[in-house]
Structure 1
Amino acid sequence: MKNIKWLLLMAIVLVLAACSLEQPGSNSSSDDQGEAGNDGDKVYKVGLSVSTLNNPFFVTLSEGVKEQAKESGSEVIVVDAQDDASKQASDVEDLIQQGVDLLIINPTDSEAVVSAVESANGSNVPVITVDRRAEGGEVVSHIASDNKAGGVLAGEYLLELLGEDQPQVAELEGISGSSAARDRGAGFNEAVDGKVNIVAKQTANFNRAEGLTVMENILQANPDIQGVFAHNDEMALGALEAIQSAGKDIPVIGFDATDDAVASVKDGKLSATIAQKPEEIGVKAMEAAVALLNGEDVEADIPVDLELIKE
C-alpha cells in the first residue's frame, strides 16, 4: 500500500513539473509571417536593395528606412548592389528566397532592374522603388524628389551666378541608364538651353574619385570653364577638389545635400546643392510598405520636397 501511495505522489510531482516548463501564452509559431507585435500590429520582413552604400546619400536613405521599420516593429534586410546591376538582380533573388513580404528597390540601372522587378512580381512580392525608377515591371509606388525639377533649380542658380552671356559650362553626369541622371540632366539642360555653352559633358558615375579625374581632364581640354553642374554631390566634391588643385575659382553646383556637401557650401567652397532629403524618402518608403502590407491603398507616386542650399 505504501508503494502505491509513493508512486502516485511521484506521478503528481512529475505532472506539475512538466506544466511549469510552459510559460503562459507561449506560442511556437511566433516566427510566422505577419505575426502580431506587442501592440497588435503585424510584423513584416522587408528587403531593401540599395544601389550603393558607398554614397552617403543612400546610407542616409537606408537609415530612414531602418528607423521607420523600428517604429513599426518590422524587420529590414539591407543589401548593397555596389553599383553593379547584375549583383542587384542576384541580391533581389536572394531576398525573395528569404521570404520577404515586400521589396524596396533603389535601382542601380533603371532598365537593368526590370528583370528583378518582374521576378518579384512573379513571386507575388510587392515592389516599391526609391529615388530612381524602374523602366518596367509592376511597381506599386515610387518615392522620390522630382529630379527634373531639381535640375531646373540647379540650372537657374548657375545662370544667376554666371549670367546668360554664353558662359562655358561643364556637366558631370551620373550613371548612364539611371533615371536620376537622365532627369537631372534634362532639367538642367532645359533651364540653360540657349543661355550657356556646354563644352564638356561626361559621366563620373556618381563617384567622387571619378569626379576628380573627369574634372581634371575637362580642365586640361577646356581651361576656360566658368561653371560646373554635377548630377550628385559626390561628383561635385570631386570636381571641386580638381578645380582647387588647379588654382582656379569656378562655381560648382551639386545635388543631394549630403553632410559633406552642405558643410562645403557653408564654408564657401561648393556654390550650392539641391537638397533631396534622403532620410525622408526612406521614412516615406517604409510607411508606404507597412500601409500596403496592411491592405491600405498607397499613392503610385509619393513626392518629397526639394530645396536649394546656397552660399
Structure 2
Amino acid sequence: MLKKIAGIMMVLTMALSLAGCNAITIDGEGEIMESTGNGSIGLSVSTLNNPFFVSLAEGAEAAAEKEGVKLAVADAGDDSAKQQNDIEDLISRNVSVLIVNPVDSDAVAPAVQNALSQGIKVISVDRVVNGVDVHCQIASDNVAGAKMATEYLIEQIGKGAKVAELEGVPGASATIDRGAGFHEAADKDLDVVASQSANFDRAEGMTVMENILQSDSSIKGVFAHNDEMALGALQAIAATRKDIKVVGFDATDDAVNEVEAGRMTATVAQKPELMGETAVLTAIKLIAGEEVEKSLPVEVELVTK
C-alpha cells in the first residue's frame, strides 16, 4: 500500500513539473509568471554604429541586469535583410518578448508578424513597424521635435532663407516623421533647396553636404534628421568658412558639445537610455501577463547654447 501511494505521489509530482514547464522566475523573487517562451527578451537594434542606439541598448542592458532577466542584443548594422535574419534567430532562441528598433519600418514587418504568430510579444522602440499591430510602441514625438527644431532655425536665419535637409534612412519611421515635422514649419517660412538622404551616417552627411554646397553656396541653414549627419555637415561647412546654422536631432554627447561650443545651433534631446530601460520594463510586464499601454511616448526637448 505504501509503495502504491509513493508511486501516485511521484506521478503527481511529474505532472506538476510538466505543467509548470512554461513558468519562469524573475529577479530571484520566486514569482511564477506564465510565458510562451523561456522568459528571455530579444532586442533587435538597427545599428550599434551610432551613439544614439548604443545608448538605447545600454539602457536596455542595464535594466535587464538590474531586474535579473536575460537579454539578447542583435545588431542589424543598418541592413534590413540582416535584421530579418536576426529576428528569426531570436525567435529560434524561444524569447518571450521581442523588442525591435527597425532599420526599415516596412521591411521588418514580415519577421515581426512571424514572431507574433508564434506567441511572442513585440515592442517597437524609437521607430514603428508599419502594418503590424505590436503590443507596445515606445518612441519620442519625432514630428513635434522636428517642427520645434525647425522653428528655432527660422528664428536664427530669418524667413525666406535657403536651407537644406539631410534625411535619414529611407523608409525608417523616424525619417518619415522628422521629415514631416521639418516640412510642416519649413515649407511655409523657408526656401528648401535640397532634401537628400545621408542614411543617419556622419561620413555620408559630410559628403552629401559638400555636394549640396557645391550646387548652392548661398544656403543659410541645415536641418539634419539626426546628430551624426549634422556633425558630418559641420565638417563640410567648416571647410568653406561660411556661417551656416546647423540643427540636429538626438542630443548625442558629441552634438551637445558642439552646441555648447557654439559651432552647432541646436539639437533635439531624446532619451535613448530611458527608451531602452522602458522597453525592458514593459517587456517584463508582458511576460507577467500584465496589460500595458499601446503607446508610451518619451518626451523631447530643444538643446541650445
TM-score (norm 2): 0.89
Query: Would you say 1:259 and 2:253 are equivalent positions?
Result: yes
Which residue of the partner structure matches residue 74 of structure 2? 79
Instruction: Compute the displacement of 1:77 (Å).
Output: 0.3
2:27 touches 2:69 (CA, 8 Å); kept in 1? no
* Structure showing greater Rg: 1
Structure-2 separation of matches of 1:142 and 1:201: 28
Question: SS at the partner of 2:102?
Answer: coil
Question: SS at the partner of 1:78?
Answer: strand
Which residue of the partner structure matches residue 278 of structure 1? 272
Question: Residues 207-286 of structure 1: matches in 2 within 5 Å?
Answer: 207-286=201-280
Matched to 2:215, the amino acid is A
Which residue of the partner structure matches residue 87 of structure 2? 92
1:121 touches 1:137 (CA, 8 Å); kept in 2? no
Structure-1 separation of matches of 2:260 and 2:42: 36
Question: SS at the partner of 2:25?
Answer: coil
Question: Residues 1-311 of structure 1: matches in 2 within 5 Å?
Answer: 34-35=24-25, 37-41=27-31, 44-164=39-159, 166-311=160-305
**1:167-193, Cα deviation, whole Å (9 max, x unpaired):** 000000001101100100101110122
1:121 touches 1:138 (CA, 8 Å); kept in 2? no
Q: Do the aligned partners of residues 61 and 37 (structure 1) sit closer, same or farther apart at CA in structure 2, a change above 3 Å counting?
A: closer
Root-mean-square deviation (Å): 1.6
Instruction: Compute the displacement of 1:70 (Å).
Output: 1.3
TM-score (norm 1): 0.88
2:26 touches 2:68 (CA, 8 Å); kept in 1? no
Structure-2 separation of matches of 1:172 and 1:33: 48
2:202 touches 2:229 (CA, 8 Å); kept in 1? yes
Matched to 2:73, the amino acid is V
Structure-1 separation of matches of 2:245 and 2:21: 55
Number of residue pairs matched by the alignment: 282
- Unpaired segments of 5 or more residues in structure 1? 1-26
Instruction: Compute the displacement of 1:41 (Å).
Output: 4.1
Matched to 1:249, the amino acid is D
Instruction: Compute the displacement of 1:154 (Å).
Output: 1.0
**1:202-252, Cα deviation, whole Å (9 max, x unpaired):** 000000000000000000001000000000000000000100012112110
Matched to 2:30, the amino acid is G
- Unpaired segments of 5 or more residues in structure 2? 1-16, 33-37
Question: SS at the partner of 2:115?
Answer: helix
Name the structure, 1 or 2, with higher relative contact order (CA <8 Å, separation 6+).
2
**1:286-305, Cα deviation, whole Å (9 max, x unpaired):** 11100111111100000100
